[in-house]
Amino acid sequence: MTDSLSPDLLVLGGGPGGYIAALRAAQLGLSVVCVEKDTTLGGTCVNVGCIPSKALLGSSEHYEFAAHHAAEHGIRIAGVTLDLPAMMKRKDAVVAQNTKGVEFLFKKNKVTWAKGLGTLQAGNVVEVRAADGTATTYRPRHVILATGSVPVALPFLPFDEERVLSNVGALKIPEVPKRLIVIGGGVIGLELGSVWRRLGAKVMVIEYAPAILPGNDADITKEASKIFTKQGLELHVGTKVTGGRRDGDRVIVETETNGTPRRFEADYVLVSIGRRPSLTGVDAAALGLALGRRGEIVVDDRMRTNLPNVFAIGDAVGGKLLAHKAEEEGVIAAEVIAGKPVHMHYHNMPGVVYTWPEIATCGLTEDEAQAAGRAIKVGKYPFSANGRARTMGNTEGFVKFVTDAATDEILGCHMIGPNVSDLLSEVVLAMEYRGTADDIGGTVHSHPTLSEAVKEAALGALGRALHI
């Protein structure tokens, strides 16, 4: 029997990649220790990322509906007021439910949670130092590095989480800002900017690229820009941040657009210009661990590093920083360790932006497909023509397919509209098995549902959409 200090596997990091790797390995019969330095499991995603941001997004959507849109449905609500402390308390309760849920799963699957800061040493020895200073040494057969990522700061605007905020501080502002500057028009900036805009802040988004949501399909970014501007977000694209500083209870940000300088002032600024791999507890140079040019851990398609019996997953290995990507990598690493002939691939990795309307994508954009020399067909269907969307009063957006002109294989799908985060799954499944537009267009979809827009867009790529 394996000694508790010499487990089959030690996972360094209890985020979505790490805890899933630990659970899957335990399912496969391995003895597992998961090291987590924070007081709760779940990592950035559960504690200060995906879960709390979606809780606030949901609450702020309810507030905006009650204050501004309920009357459209014949519901008269007088004197709607915001109780921000109660909203934050609910957000914290949702986080606690999730973190306790992970802890329960560890107990159920007999995964040991080693509480403390783990340090990987030569020979795959891991020392875990608890908060009280006591140290425990583990000698596992295999190690998975799941150390996550941290937000990138601007050198002239270091995070203080009081006025200059990362995603962490932006989730717990004690008041609704009068003015909020968001530097970075990507997923985090738009989601959290949307929360505070709905609650009453004037939100100014500054994006260096020519459009928000860089890397997305051009039709999506164009539609999103139109909708978000209509909602009240102030978008400044093609704008470079050249300087900034905190001045008491205000923040000043200097910018330049096409050579023209401009100064923005606000009571808070959210800096969301990206994240970088975190290697806390891992001295790559001393260990001889190979890193990429962005500081990410280099792995093969089985999540193996260049060190014997050391694997790495999640944000620490770079690529798209997505919780579900980390989870899949964790499963692959655990199964490889258990001897299964599996490997990781990324070509059907979905992505979602939880603004309202939502944005969901998978595969190649139209421009990417054309740049790759593919002859393509495009099918596009607006939610304004969908019966269910009309009944909901949410008719903005569309579903767009990019397909191979010769075979009708689905190369990409891009959606903006109500609940599209849930609509994308059937497309991802189809793409995983190299499905065609005809496969989705020929599948019966319940009526009236939003999913009919997916069917119609697929039929549109075949030149035979019925309801437009």
Which residues does 81 contact at the CB level (< 8 Å), separation at least 6? none
Our CA angle for 312, 277, 325, nearest 5°, is: 55
Is 447 noted as a catalytic residue in this protein? yes
- Of 28, 34, 275, 27, the C-alpha closest to 145 is 34
Our CA angle for 283, 331, 100, nearest 5°, is: 85
Beta bridge partners of 150: 276
Give the separation between CA 45 and CA 55, rounded to whole angstroms: 12
Q: Which of 343, 345, 447, 467 is catalytic?
A: 447
User: Which amino acid does the sequence have at 275?
Assistant: R
- Known catalytic residues are 447
